[in-house]
Structure 1
Amino acid sequence: MKRVILAAAMVAGLGGPAMAQRQGGYAVAGQTPDGQRYSGTLQMEAAGGNTWRVVWSVAGDSARGLGLLIPEGPLLVVGYLAGREIGVVAYAVQPDGRLLGTWTQGAGGGVGSETLTPAGGSTGK
Protein backbone atom coordinates (compact mmCIF):
# COMPACT_ATOMS: atom_id res chain seq x y z
CA MET A 1 0.00 0.00 0.00
CA LYS A 2 2.85 2.42 0.78
CA ARG A 3 4.10 2.05 -2.78
CA VAL A 4 0.72 2.99 -4.19
CA ILE A 5 0.58 6.00 -1.89
CA LEU A 6 4.05 7.15 -2.75
CA ALA A 7 3.39 6.72 -6.42
CA ALA A 8 0.78 9.33 -6.10
CA ALA A 9 3.30 11.80 -4.92
CA MET A 10 4.48 12.94 -8.27
CA VAL A 11 5.97 15.72 -10.19
CA ALA A 12 5.50 19.26 -11.26
CA GLY A 13 5.43 21.12 -14.52
CA LEU A 14 5.85 24.66 -15.64
CA GLY A 15 4.96 27.02 -18.39
CA GLY A 16 6.72 30.00 -19.87
CA PRO A 17 8.58 32.43 -17.61
CA ALA A 18 7.35 30.72 -14.45
CA MET A 19 9.60 27.71 -15.13
CA ALA A 20 12.46 28.88 -12.90
CA GLN A 21 10.04 29.43 -10.03
CA ARG A 22 8.79 25.84 -10.19
CA GLN A 23 12.08 24.09 -9.52
CA GLY A 24 12.41 23.08 -5.87
CA GLY A 25 10.14 21.69 -3.18
CA TYR A 26 6.42 20.91 -3.23
CA ALA A 27 3.90 19.76 -0.64
CA VAL A 28 2.03 16.63 -1.77
CA ALA A 29 -1.61 15.83 -0.87
CA GLY A 30 -3.44 12.99 -2.54
CA GLN A 31 -5.85 10.10 -2.51
CA THR A 32 -5.19 6.46 -3.45
CA PRO A 33 -7.51 4.46 -5.72
CA ASP A 34 -9.14 2.94 -2.60
CA GLY A 35 -9.81 6.36 -1.06
CA GLN A 36 -6.95 6.62 1.46
CA ARG A 37 -5.54 10.12 1.85
CA TYR A 38 -1.78 10.74 2.02
CA SER A 39 0.69 13.60 2.21
CA GLY A 40 4.39 14.09 1.70
CA THR A 41 6.97 16.15 -0.15
CA LEU A 42 8.43 16.30 -3.63
CA GLN A 43 11.65 17.78 -5.02
CA MET A 44 11.87 18.76 -8.68
CA GLU A 45 15.02 19.66 -10.59
CA ALA A 46 15.45 20.78 -14.20
CA ALA A 47 17.22 18.14 -16.30
CA GLY A 48 17.53 20.13 -19.52
CA GLY A 49 15.07 21.16 -22.19
CA ASN A 50 11.55 20.40 -21.02
CA THR A 51 12.61 17.46 -18.82
CA TRP A 52 12.51 17.26 -15.03
CA ARG A 53 13.94 14.91 -12.40
CA VAL A 54 11.53 14.28 -9.54
CA VAL A 55 11.89 12.65 -6.11
CA TRP A 56 8.88 11.97 -3.85
CA SER A 57 8.84 11.17 -0.16
CA VAL A 58 5.54 9.79 1.19
CA ALA A 59 4.94 7.72 4.35
CA GLY A 60 8.64 6.95 4.74
CA ASP A 61 9.00 5.67 1.15
CA SER A 62 10.55 7.41 -1.82
CA ALA A 63 10.19 7.25 -5.59
CA ARG A 64 12.17 8.70 -8.47
CA GLY A 65 10.93 9.78 -11.85
CA LEU A 66 11.63 11.63 -15.05
CA GLY A 67 9.06 14.02 -16.48
CA LEU A 68 8.36 15.76 -19.76
CA LEU A 69 6.65 19.14 -19.83
CA ILE A 70 4.24 19.53 -22.74
CA PRO A 71 3.91 23.32 -23.07
CA GLU A 72 0.68 23.21 -25.09
CA GLY A 73 -1.23 21.95 -22.02
CA PRO A 74 0.63 22.89 -20.08
CA LEU A 75 0.88 19.31 -18.87
CA LEU A 76 3.68 17.49 -17.05
CA VAL A 77 3.82 13.73 -17.63
CA VAL A 78 6.13 11.69 -15.38
CA GLY A 79 7.16 8.05 -15.42
CA TYR A 80 8.50 6.79 -12.10
CA LEU A 81 9.78 3.82 -10.15
CA ALA A 82 8.51 3.14 -6.63
CA GLY A 83 10.24 0.12 -5.18
CA ARG A 84 9.79 -2.56 -7.86
CA GLU A 85 6.67 -1.02 -9.39
CA ILE A 86 6.45 1.45 -12.24
CA GLY A 87 3.86 4.16 -12.60
CA VAL A 88 2.86 7.25 -14.50
CA VAL A 89 1.31 10.55 -13.47
CA ALA A 90 -0.02 13.46 -15.53
CA TYR A 91 -0.24 16.92 -13.94
CA ALA A 92 -2.24 19.85 -15.25
CA VAL A 93 -0.16 22.96 -14.51
CA GLN A 94 -2.27 25.68 -12.87
CA PRO A 95 -1.68 29.46 -13.22
CA ASP A 96 -1.06 29.71 -9.45
CA GLY A 97 1.79 27.14 -9.61
CA ARG A 98 -0.12 24.13 -8.27
CA LEU A 99 -0.07 20.85 -10.19
CA LEU A 100 -3.25 18.77 -10.31
CA GLY A 101 -2.38 15.13 -10.98
CA THR A 102 -3.94 11.81 -11.91
CA TRP A 103 -1.81 8.66 -11.48
CA THR A 104 -1.68 4.89 -11.73
CA GLN A 105 0.91 2.37 -10.56
CA GLY A 106 1.76 -1.31 -10.72
CA ALA A 107 -0.01 -4.35 -12.09
CA GLY A 108 -3.15 -3.67 -10.03
CA GLY A 109 -3.76 -0.35 -11.72
CA GLY A 110 -6.44 1.89 -10.30
CA VAL A 111 -6.43 5.66 -10.52
CA GLY A 112 -5.43 8.07 -7.77
CA SER A 113 -5.25 11.84 -7.58
CA GLU A 114 -2.93 14.37 -6.02
CA THR A 115 -2.13 18.04 -5.77
CA LEU A 116 1.37 19.49 -5.62
CA THR A 117 1.68 22.92 -4.03
CA PRO A 118 4.95 24.89 -4.27
CA ALA A 119 6.62 24.87 -0.84
CA GLY A 120 6.72 28.21 0.90
CA GLY A 121 4.48 29.77 -1.70
CA SER A 122 0.92 30.95 -1.61
CA THR A 123 -1.59 29.66 -4.12
CA GLY A 124 -3.90 32.52 -3.44
CA LYS A 125 -6.48 30.17 -1.94
Structure 2
Amino acid sequence: MPRLALGLLAASLCIQPVAAQRSGFYAVEGRAADGTIYMGAATLTPTGPQTWRITWRVSGNTSVGVGLTVGKLLVIGYISDRETGVAAYEVRPDGRLVGRWTQGAEGGVGTETLIPR
Protein backbone atom coordinates (compact mmCIF):
# COMPACT_ATOMS: atom_id res chain seq x y z
CA MET A 1 0.00 0.00 0.00
CA PRO A 2 2.76 2.57 0.76
CA ARG A 3 4.24 1.97 -2.72
CA LEU A 4 0.87 2.76 -4.32
CA ALA A 5 0.52 5.94 -2.26
CA LEU A 6 4.06 7.01 -3.17
CA GLY A 7 3.36 6.35 -6.86
CA LEU A 8 0.15 8.38 -6.77
CA LEU A 9 1.92 11.25 -5.01
CA ALA A 10 4.72 11.25 -7.60
CA ALA A 11 2.21 11.20 -10.48
CA SER A 12 0.21 14.06 -8.99
CA LEU A 13 3.32 16.22 -8.70
CA CYS A 14 3.99 15.79 -12.43
CA ILE A 15 0.53 16.95 -13.47
CA GLN A 16 0.15 20.68 -14.04
CA PRO A 17 -3.26 22.31 -13.78
CA VAL A 18 -4.90 22.47 -17.19
CA ALA A 19 -5.84 26.14 -16.73
CA ALA A 20 -2.20 27.11 -16.08
CA GLN A 21 -1.15 25.43 -19.32
CA ARG A 22 -3.64 27.38 -21.41
CA SER A 23 -3.31 30.94 -20.15
CA GLY A 24 -0.93 33.19 -22.08
CA PHE A 25 0.59 33.67 -25.51
CA TYR A 26 0.46 31.16 -28.36
CA ALA A 27 1.90 30.73 -31.83
CA VAL A 28 -0.86 29.90 -34.31
CA GLU A 29 -0.43 27.41 -37.17
CA GLY A 30 -3.43 26.55 -39.30
CA ARG A 31 -4.95 25.50 -42.58
CA ALA A 32 -8.12 27.14 -43.88
CA ALA A 33 -10.93 25.13 -45.47
CA ASP A 34 -9.56 26.02 -48.93
CA GLY A 35 -6.13 24.60 -48.01
CA THR A 36 -4.41 27.95 -47.42
CA ILE A 37 -1.75 27.69 -44.70
CA TYR A 38 -1.53 30.55 -42.21
CA MET A 39 0.43 31.54 -39.12
CA GLY A 40 -0.06 34.14 -36.43
CA ALA A 41 -0.35 34.68 -32.70
CA ALA A 42 -3.05 34.36 -30.06
CA THR A 43 -3.55 35.41 -26.46
CA LEU A 44 -5.74 33.36 -24.13
CA THR A 45 -6.94 34.98 -20.90
CA PRO A 46 -9.08 33.35 -18.19
CA THR A 47 -12.30 35.17 -17.34
CA GLY A 48 -13.54 32.62 -14.79
CA PRO A 49 -12.88 29.08 -13.61
CA GLN A 50 -13.98 27.55 -16.94
CA THR A 51 -14.31 30.57 -19.23
CA TRP A 52 -11.82 32.32 -21.50
CA ARG A 53 -11.27 35.28 -23.79
CA ILE A 54 -9.12 34.80 -26.88
CA THR A 55 -7.63 37.25 -29.37
CA TRP A 56 -6.04 36.02 -32.61
CA ARG A 57 -3.77 38.09 -34.86
CA VAL A 58 -3.40 36.43 -38.26
CA SER A 59 -2.40 38.07 -41.56
CA GLY A 60 -3.02 41.58 -40.25
CA ASN A 61 -6.53 40.74 -39.00
CA THR A 62 -7.62 40.60 -35.37
CA SER A 63 -10.40 38.24 -34.25
CA VAL A 64 -11.90 37.96 -30.77
CA GLY A 65 -13.84 35.23 -29.04
CA VAL A 66 -15.02 33.73 -25.79
CA GLY A 67 -14.62 30.12 -24.76
CA LEU A 68 -15.70 27.47 -22.33
CA THR A 69 -13.82 24.39 -21.18
CA VAL A 70 -15.76 21.14 -21.33
CA GLY A 71 -13.62 18.27 -20.05
CA LYS A 72 -10.49 18.24 -22.23
CA LEU A 73 -12.08 20.51 -24.85
CA LEU A 74 -11.94 24.26 -25.22
CA VAL A 75 -14.92 25.45 -27.29
CA ILE A 76 -14.82 29.03 -28.62
CA GLY A 77 -17.32 31.26 -30.38
CA TYR A 78 -15.74 34.17 -32.22
CA ILE A 79 -16.15 37.05 -34.65
CA SER A 80 -13.76 37.63 -37.54
CA ASP A 81 -14.32 40.00 -40.47
CA ARG A 82 -17.96 40.50 -39.37
CA GLU A 83 -18.63 36.76 -39.56
CA THR A 84 -19.29 34.44 -36.66
CA GLY A 85 -17.44 31.19 -36.19
CA VAL A 86 -16.82 28.36 -33.77
CA ALA A 87 -13.67 26.44 -32.87
CA ALA A 88 -13.16 23.34 -30.74
CA TYR A 89 -9.69 22.48 -29.44
CA GLU A 90 -8.43 19.38 -27.67
CA VAL A 91 -6.17 20.37 -24.77
CA ARG A 92 -3.01 18.27 -25.08
CA PRO A 93 -0.80 17.35 -22.06
CA ASP A 94 2.03 19.54 -23.43
CA GLY A 95 -0.26 22.60 -23.44
CA ARG A 96 -0.91 22.66 -27.19
CA LEU A 97 -4.47 23.22 -28.33
CA VAL A 98 -5.28 21.18 -31.45
CA GLY A 99 -8.58 21.85 -33.12
CA ARG A 100 -10.98 22.48 -35.95
CA TRP A 101 -12.99 25.56 -36.84
CA THR A 102 -15.68 26.84 -39.16
CA GLN A 103 -16.77 30.36 -40.02
CA GLY A 104 -19.44 32.12 -42.05
CA ALA A 105 -22.16 30.88 -44.36
CA GLU A 106 -19.90 28.62 -46.46
CA GLY A 107 -19.30 26.27 -43.54
CA GLY A 108 -15.93 24.84 -44.58
CA VAL A 109 -13.78 23.30 -41.85
CA GLY A 110 -10.21 24.40 -41.12
CA THR A 111 -7.63 23.05 -38.70
CA GLU A 112 -5.52 24.96 -36.22
CA THR A 113 -2.91 24.36 -33.55
CA LEU A 114 -2.10 26.85 -30.80
CA ILE A 115 1.39 26.32 -29.40
CA PRO A 116 2.24 27.87 -25.99
CA ARG A 117 5.05 30.44 -25.97
TM class by smaller structure: 0.7 to 0.9
Moved over 2 A (4+): none
2:54 maps to 1:49: no
Return closer, same or farther for 1:26/1:93 CA change in 2, 3 Å cut-off: same
Q: Are 2:25 and 1:25 aligned?
A: yes
Identify the residue that residue 12 of structure 1 maps to in structure 2.
none
Larger Rg: 2
- Equivalenced residue count is 103
TM-score, structure 2 normalization: 0.84
Q: Report the alpha carbon displacement of residue 37 of structure 1 after superposing the two structures with TM.
A: 0.2
Q: Report the aligned-residue RMSD.
A: 1.4
Once residues 73 and 68 of structure 2 are traced to their aligned partners in structure 1, the CA distance between those partners, rounded to angstroms, is 8
Q: What's the offset of the Cα at 1:109?
A: 1.0
Gaps of 5+ in 1: 1-14, 120-125
Report the equivalent of 1:6.
none
User: Any residues of structure 2 matched to 1:59-98 within 5 Å, and which?
Assistant: 59-71=59-71, 74-98=72-96
Report the alpha carbon displacement of residue 17 of structure 1 after superposing the two structures with TM: 1.4
Give deviations 1:38-84, integer Å, cap 9, x for gaps.
Answer: 0000001000120000000000001000000012xx00000000121
User: Structure 2 stretches of 5 or more lacking a match?
Assistant: 1-14
- 3-state DSSP of counterpart to 2:17: helix
Instruction: Please state which structure has a larger fraction of its residues in helix.
Output: 2
Q: CA deviation at 1:22?
A: 2.0
Report the equivalent of 2:113. 115
TM-score by length of 1: 0.79
Partner of 1:87: helix, strand, or coil?
strand
Overall identity of the aligned pairs, in %:
52
